[in-house]
């Protein structure tokens, strides 16, 4: 057929109209385009942080008002508070202590069904309610403890030791301004940090649970030792070092007492009492504990931008003891180590990265000098500020862990 013929042109037009009609019918059956394809995705939102004191009360009231408590006029139920901690490091600060005080005031004022008692072994024997809680610096939009941390997440949980279950949760977010993050004396002085099963069990009881869940088994198994360690830390914070040393010794001999804070406390108390031999033995056990966990971080403090330790003998005086024991115990355990430098997030990251490597190398050189047979079993590296635990960039006592040197056990 000639394409210029009128009959051919009419046939083409009719064919086009039929195809168009079929396409319209198909679209009608499919319905309108999905909303997320027709419009841009909504911007993620996050809870608006509120003032710190208001956030504490919000979380505590949410926890207690939604929990089935004894009826008014009946016998009051015992409530113990296992001291609140930082949700990443497990340390205690002026902020976590302030939270505990505000919760006690609230309970005594508004919840007469509860009787706040001291967190002691004798009171735990009655299988009371136990309140645990964490204060975690987070990026508010992401809701995670990473990146720029512009809010605090408060988490509270109530555990019933008699039933072995978590029976209530309360959460809130606080603005960071005015939150006193200075660590308590024991946590500020503690030389070492590592992941610790007891601390992780406490944090998971709060952060990784919902009402009706069983209490974290590790936390439940070690709660009596936790009460003893709380007494020891309180004695240390009050500078009663003879008492704290005796309590830390007892904790280490108690079931579930083999914990990082017990080893830190035994070393610190002996050092404060100028018992050098006992402090050396305690630090050796601390190093062994870290090596068994395949990770140990020490809070070496350097001069700004330098690989030299700060000149304050009150701080850097015990460093030779630390290094000697790390060298000795690492060699005796036949461990191979990656020595990893860290910095806080203040300053340009390329400089932080370079500085973290240089500081790790400086520590490696000191270890190799103390025990030359370690030379081929150690290597130095640095991660700058990429693995900050605190992340505040304040460069003071509150973020000393961000400037740590870490010893990671490798397969040789």
pLDDT tens by residue, 256-280: 999 999 999 999 999 999 999 999 9
Cα–Cα dist 97/95, whole Å: 5
The confidence score (pLDDT) of residue 1 equals 47
Whether residue 336 has pLDDT greater than 60:
yes
C-alpha dihedral sign at 330, 335, 336, 341: negative
Q: To 10 degrees, what angle do helices 52-65 and 94-110 make?
A: 50
Tokens of 29: 């059956």
- Taking the CA atoms of residue 220, residue 222, residue 228 and residue 230 in that order, the dihedral angle to the nearest 10 degrees is -70
The confidence score (pLDDT) of residue 2 equals 47
Tokens of 254: 């108690």
The confidence score (pLDDT) of residue 210 equals 93
The confidence score (pLDDT) of residue 397 equals 82
**pLDDT digits 0-9 by tens, 200-246:** 999 999 999 999 999 999 999 999 999 999 999 999 999 999 999 99
Q: Which residues pair with 135 in a beta bridge?
A: 86, 154
Contact, 184 vs 93, CB < 8 A? yes
Stretch among 18-22, 136-140, 373-377 having the lowest mean pLDDT: 18-22
The confidence score (pLDDT) of residue 347 equals 86
Contact, 236 vs 269, CB < 8 A? yes
C-alpha dihedral sign at 257, 263, 265, 269: positive
| List of residues 6+ apart from 355 with CB closer than 8 A | 305, 341, 343, 382, 384
Indicate the helix (H) or strand (E) that contains 47. none
Environment class of 55 (CB within 10 Å of its CB; exposed 0-12, middle 13-18, buried 19+) = buried
Give the predicted TM-score (pTM) of the model: 0.86
398: which DSSP letter?
Answer: G
The confidence score (pLDDT) of residue 44 equals 62
Q: What are the angstrom distances between the C-alpha of 214 and each of 67, 123, 219?
A: 16, 21, 11
Order of strands across the sheet with 295-298?
192-193, 295-298, 405-410, 336-341, 378-382
**Average pLDDT across the chain, whole number:** 90
Residue 173's region, left for phi above 0, alpha for psi from -120 to 50, else beta, is beta
The confidence score (pLDDT) of residue 24 equals 42
Environment class of 137 (CB within 10 Å of its CB; exposed 0-12, middle 13-18, buried 19+) = buried
Whether residue 41 has pLDDT greater than 60:
no
Contact, 176 vs 149, CB < 8 A? yes
317: which DSSP letter?
Answer: T
Indicate the helix (H) or strand (E) that contains 182. none
Locate tokens 């939150």: which residue? Answer: 179
Whether residue 22 has pLDDT greater than 50:
no
Environment class of 18 (CB within 10 Å of its CB; exposed 0-12, middle 13-18, buried 19+) = exposed
Quickly state the pLDDT bin for 33 (edges 50, 70, 90): very low
Domain boundaries, given as residue ranges, for the chain = 294-411
Environment class of 373 (CB within 10 Å of its CB; exposed 0-12, middle 13-18, buried 19+) = exposed
Q: Tell me the fold of 294-411.
A: 60s Ribosomal Protein L30; Chain: A; (3.30.1330)
Question: Burial code of 248-281, b = ≥16 C-beta within 10 A, e = fewer?
Answer: bbbbbebebbbbbbbbbbbbbbbbbeeeeebbbe
Q: Which of 270, 294, 293 is nearest to 283 (CA)?
A: 270
Q: Which of 118, 120, 129, 110 is nearest to 60 (CA)?
A: 110
Tokens of 356: 């973290």
The predicted model gives 67-82 an average pLDDT of 88
**pLDDT digits 0-9 by tens, 360-403:** 999 999 999 999 999 999 999 999 999 999 988 888 888 899 99
Query: How close are the terminal C-alpha atoms of the chain, in Å?
Result: 84
Whether residue 73 has pLDDT greater than 80:
no
Secondary structure of residue 407 in the 3-state scheme: strand
The confidence score (pLDDT) of residue 47 equals 87
């Amino acid at each position: 057929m000639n394409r210029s013929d009128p009959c051919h042109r009419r046939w083409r037009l009719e064919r086009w109209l039929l195809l168009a009609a079929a396409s319209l019918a198909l679209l009608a059956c499919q319905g309108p385009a999905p909303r997320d394809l027709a419009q841009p995705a909504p911007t993620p939102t996050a809870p608006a942080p509120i003032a710190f004191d208001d956030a504490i009360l919000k979380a505590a009231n949410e926890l207690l008002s939604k929990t089935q408590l004894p009826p008014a006029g009946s016998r009051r139920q015992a409530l113990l508070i296992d001291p609140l901690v930082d949700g990443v490091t497990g340390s205690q600060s002026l902020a976590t202590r302030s939270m505990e005080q505000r919760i006690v005031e609230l309970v005594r004022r508004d919840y007469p069904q509860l009787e706040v008692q001291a967190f002691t072994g004798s009171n735990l024997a009655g299988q009371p309610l136990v309140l645990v809680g964490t204060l975690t610096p987070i990026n508010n939009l992401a809701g995670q403890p990473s990146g720029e941390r512009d809010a605090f997440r408060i988490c509270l949980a109530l555990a019933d030791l008699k039933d072995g279950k978590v029976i209530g949760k309360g959460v809130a977010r606080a603005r960071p301004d005015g939150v006193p993050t200075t660590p308590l004396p024991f946590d500020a002085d503690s030389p070492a940090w590592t992941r610790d099963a007891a601390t992780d069990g406490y944090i998971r009881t709060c952060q990784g649970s919902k009402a009706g869940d069983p209490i974290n088994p590790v936390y439940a198994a070690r709660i009596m030792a936790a009460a003893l360690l709380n007494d020891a830390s309180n004695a240390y914070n009050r500078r009663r070092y003879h008492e704290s040393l005796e309590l830390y010794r007892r904790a280490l001999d108690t079931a579930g007492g083999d914990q990082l804070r017990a080893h830190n406390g035994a070393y610190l108390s002996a050092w404060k009492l100028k018992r050098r031999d006992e402090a050396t033995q305690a630090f050796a056990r601390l190093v062994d504990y870290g090596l068994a966990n395949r990770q140990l971080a020490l809070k070496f403090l350097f001069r700004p931008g330098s690989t030299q330790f700060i000149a304050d003998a009150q701080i850097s005086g015990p460093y030779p003891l630390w290094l000697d024991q790390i060298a000795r115990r690492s060699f005796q355990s036949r461990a191979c180590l990656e020595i990893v430098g860290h910095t806080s997030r203040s300053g340009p990251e390329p400089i932080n990265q370079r500085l973290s490597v240089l500081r790790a190398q400086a520590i490696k050189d000191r270890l190799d000098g103390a025990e030359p047979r370690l030379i081929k079993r150690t290597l130095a590296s640095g991660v700058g500020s990429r693995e900050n635990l605190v992340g505040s960039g304040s460069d003071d006592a509150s973020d000393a862990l961000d400037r740590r040197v870490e010893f990671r056990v490798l397969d040789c």
